[in-house]
Chain A
Amino acid sequence: MTATISTTSVTPTRRRRRSARLSPLLVAFVLVPFAVESVWVFWPAIQGFWFSLTRWDGMTPPTFVGTDNYVELAGDATFRGALVNTVIWLVLFGGLSVLGGFGMALVLQKERRWVGFYRAALFTPVVFSLVVTALVWRVFYQPDGIADTLLRAVGLEQLIRPWLADPQTALYAVILPALWRQIGYVMVLFLAGLKAIDPALHEAARMDGANAWQRLRHVTIPQLKGVNAVVLSVIVIDSLRSFDIVWSLTKGGPYHSSELLSTYMYSTAFQSLRLGYASAIAVVIFVLALAVILGYLVRAFREEAS
């Protein structure tokens, strides 16, 4: 009896003390990952900023050149081309994968015969690594390959060109396989969102005489707000880090016509061995990604607050 009384009387004070002082375990959970991140992420990132102010070939020690690299970037036609291509990529790859993914999700949301098969078929490209995807599409694009054969079959042989080697088409020929993969991924995100919408809302809208378009516009899309945030960040991040598919298909060529900031950074760093200049490009990519994502986050928080 006494024992129970004493414990009950002790507990509140202990609890109070605990809330005042952080548990060592909790501190460890925060500090250990922070330390690891500092060594492997933050410190190298800060170093990257420092390297962008130097001239460095990777062998001899870096020499400080101030903002020379950024001044050079401003006048570098290849960099400007890569920046424009990155924007085209962001708009086309991002925009079309959202439209395509959302469209597919709408078409495939109702349980029908074979719908599982179609969903799986659309999602399959996501399973392949992008480098494997590139190998498959290279066969598709090669001279007298499947693309050319198809065009010939429908009588459009005047359109045939070296898809990946023609500066007019190279960028778009690379976006297509990237889209082929991304649409399936975005579709799955939207499908999950659509499933979470309460069918009663649609029911109510229908009772009020809303047609299919009005239900889509005023019920489905507003309800997908949470998914949209995820999709947007995925798209922006995937666009800016797109590298593998471009590198495996064209290496940014022919003569920089399908160059993205990421491929230009890579070739500057590891082919031209101009690591200082490449770091400056990396900083630009970082700032771009940060700007887009911060812009979105600020808006999202503001909406939440109001």
Chain B
Amino acid sequence: MSDFDPGRRRFLGHLGLAGLGALGASSFLSACASSASGPTTSNGSGAVTIQSNLSSPQAKAAMEKLIETFNAQGKGTASLNTIASETFRTQLPTYLTSANPPDLYTWYAGSVANDYASKNLLLDVSEVWKSLDDYPQSLRTLSTDAIGKQIFVPMNNYWWGFFYRKSNFAKWGVQEPKTWTEFLALCETLKGKGVPPIGIGLGDTPWVASAWFDYLNIRINGAPFHRELLAGKQRFDDPKVKAVFTRWREALPYFDPKGKAYPFQEATTALLAGKTGMFLIGTFFADAAPKDALGDLDFFRFPIIDPAVPLAEEAPTDGFFASAKTANPTGTRALLSYLAGVEAQEAYVKASSGIVLPANPRAKASDSPLVVKGKAMLNEAKELTQFFNRDSSDALQPTADTALTKFIDKPDQIDAILREWQAGAEKVFKG
């Protein structure tokens, strides 16, 4: 499920923009406005077009197989259109606002979907949800827009945690920490052994730092405050937000200094090679791991800081929404019902490589110990959050990237950084 990841920014998507000159740039901007038709069109009651950003080979093959099975069932026809994920991300608003848009899209649940729903761009899929009555309430709420209709159908979710190699932890003689104090003690021990305790990958993938912010905020201030903050109802220069960074600063000396320079894929390599102790990351990182290392991987949840705060975990949910302007709503809903079913979800989990949990409660996840542990962790949580950009918007993500990378470099400038962050966020909310 790597390609579902929020900020996996693929610069290849920008190749086409390489030569933007000044004039060319303004013309490109206006080209977006004046484009009347989307890149792909479906004709009336014909095939349902599904626009997919699942472009990694395994995920792509898995989707192809699903669509093939659907077509063989005779309930309708669908055609799959796989697009590089960065192109998909930048083009999605254009797809949705075009006069003749593709019917169905892979995307994220939460604020990002609700944003489009509030602009009346998404198809009401409440009818599909009538047959999904065994789905947990949390997923139903997540898929419901502000006026109470369902606009999203979840496919699966995954979790974030501190991943480490079991063999390395055994070698260093250390245990999984439960609390923040234990966590800092573990960092100190690893540092004493000459291992940079905390791996991170911010070069090219600065959004990885947002996981730290999200987790510290939901551990200290709780998930409701976190969501309000990301929705613009609280301020980033609030003392409660500063408290997050005060905690973070306690862990900063234990970060791998090289982590600023390389992307999370290389941070993964460093973790597997034992060059860092642990790594706060989503399960998609395992895509880059060799198969023999997978069995040696384990994780622990982000340590508890304030036991009074209800336990929340990050569990980004991936799935589908449809265009309100689809020419074939019946066919689109039929395809969505199929994709939400046990058969399709199990087939997808089996065919794709990632460590993911199917959304359908009756669909079986992989029975690897890692997945069992992840599922148990999410079940224990009182609240689930999505991820910074999914709980806010892709537009707010760059403001976080700037603020967080600057904080990691210059923690003593935190007041100025938070003021700048608030100013940047206000611009985004204003539009």
Contact = CB atoms under 8 A, between A and B. Distances in A.
A and B interact physically: yes
B74 to A, nearest CB: 36
Nearest to A284: B22
Interface of A is mostly: helix
A275 B402 contact: no
B49 interface: no
A59 interface: yes
A253 B262 contact: no
Interface stretch (A23-31, A198-206, A243-251): A243-251
Interface in A52-110: 52, 55-60, 62, 72, 77
In the complex, which range does the number of interface residues on chain B fall in? 35 or more
A72 B27 CA distance: 22
Nearest to A40: B27
B395 interface: yes
Contacts of B428: 272, 274
B26 A237 contact: no
A188 to B, nearest CB: 20
Interface stretch (B172-180, B200-208, B315-323): B200-208
A168 B72 CA distance: 59
Interface in A124-180: 129-131, 141-144, 162-167
Interface string B18-30: 1111111111111
Given A59-B97, A165-B203, A247-B11, A142 B262 contact: yes
B14 to A, nearest CB: 6
B57 interface: no
A241 B19 contact: yes
A262 B29 contact: no
A162 B203 contact: yes
Interface string B389-431: 0000011011001110110010000000000100000011011
B409 A241 contact: no
A47 B26 contact: yes
B22 A273 contact: no
Interface string B84-114: 0000001001101100000000000000000
A113 B266 CA distance: 44
13 contacts: A48-B26, A55-B431, A58-B93, A59-B93, A59-B96, A59-B97, A165-B260, A255-B405, A272-B428, A274-B395, A283-B26, A286-B26, A289-B22
Given A164-B203, A254-B206, A289-B23, 18 more contacts: A40-B27, A41-B27, A43-B30, A44-B29, A48-B26, A59-B93, A142-B261, A144-B258, A162-B258, A241-B19, A241-B20, A251-B9, A266-B14, A270-B90, A274-B428, A279-B26, A283-B26, A285-B21
Which 9 pairs across A and B sit closest by C-beta, in order of nearness? Answer: A48-B26, A44-B27, A162-B261, A285-B22, A47-B30, A286-B22, A244-B18, A165-B260, A143-B258
